[in-house]
Chains A and B, each alone.
Chain A
Amino acid sequence: MRECIRKGFLTGGDFLAKNKRIDMDQLTDPAYYIMLSVIEARHGYAIMKYIEELTNGEFPMGPATLYTLTKKLQQAEMIELLEDKNDRRKTYKATELGSKLLENEIERRSKMVAHGRQALYLTEEGAGKDEKAKK
């Protein structure tokens, strides 16, 4: 029965991975930060540390979220596990596919921020004009 459960999980995982590969051209926020931290090879602990430093602790990364996503990103072939000869710990590193998707994601996100700024600036200007009209 244990074997049966394990098999179920595996096929489920493969099935998920196939689906994920399609919609992984957009990353969730935690997946985005994980990808940013594995541009260089890092192990689990270093990923958490790096995200904390990069965001000044503004983006919390729980260990269960990190583990779930590193597994998913591996299944989607966006990151790979590297065996370190000097260290017993394994490190994660972005694959070529992963790096390319990450670049697109950075571009997409910066465009969205620019749109946000633009919309905010336009409304502020609009509000200013209204006030002038009142005077």
Chain B
Amino acid sequence: MSDGLAFAEEKEMKKLTELAENGWFLDSFAFLGYTLRKDTPQKIIYSVDYQDIANDRKEYMDMFRAAGWEHVCSAADIHIFSAPAGTKPIYTDQHTKIEKYERGKKGSGILGIVLILLTVMTDVIDRFFINSGDSMTANIVHYTFLFFCIISFPVLMVYARFQYKIYRLRKRISL
């Protein structure tokens, strides 16, 4: 079970390191968590990157491989890499690190806007186009509205979390 990448990235990566020390390795993303696989225990570290690599996936993967980072899994523009403990970090300067979270923020922001629009749309349909209170369609529209409400909330939280991370990194940047 994942605590959420955006919420506790460092904690999450440390947890994966501890799991690897006990012989459990990250295999792939799963709904609200990860799939793990059993192997001989190893001291490895994990890093996550947010990057649109549709056009030059090969260049991207080559750079990570050359630096000793092995690609583990991806979901949309989220990519997880692993490397032996002591490998140089994937981001070595503050400016590009801030850009990473700005990309994450943008992704969650767009998703947030789409979800809010859908929520409002279903509410409008519910209010103006559905007449009878307990017909099948009324129920479907109503539950769809609730569903969008429920999934919009964490997306907006993720957005806020990215914004906070950017703020903290900006404060840490040299004068």
A61: chain B residues within 8 A (beta carbon): 92
Residue A9 at the chain B interface, CB threshold 8 Å: yes
Stretch from A65-73, A93-101, A104-112, A115-123 that touches the partner: A65-73
User: Contact partner of B62 among A29, A44, A64, CB < 8 A?
Assistant: A44
Main secondary structure of the interface of A (DSSP, over half): helix
Residue A22 at the chain B interface, CB threshold 8 Å: no
CB distance from B112 to the nearest CB of A (A): 11
Residue A63 at the chain B interface, CB threshold 8 Å: yes
**Distance of A8 Cα from B110 Cα, bound (Å):** 7
Is the interface on chain B under 10, 10 to 19, 20 to 34, or 35 or more residues?
A: 20 to 34
**Distance of A82 Cα from B97 Cα, bound (Å):** 27
Number of residue pairs A-B, CB distance < 8 angstroms? 88
Residue A129 at the chain B interface, CB threshold 8 Å: no
Interface pairs (7), CB distance under 8 Å: A1-B111, A1-B114, A28-B93, A44-B62, A62-B88, A67-B63, A68-B99
Not counting A62-B90, A62-B93, A64-B64, a sample of 18 additional A-B residue pairs whose C-beta atoms are within 8 angstroms of each other reads A5-B76, A6-B52, A30-B92, A43-B62, A44-B62, A45-B63, A60-B88, A60-B92, A62-B88, A62-B89, A63-B64, A64-B90, A64-B96, A65-B90, A65-B96, A65-B97, A70-B59, A90-B59
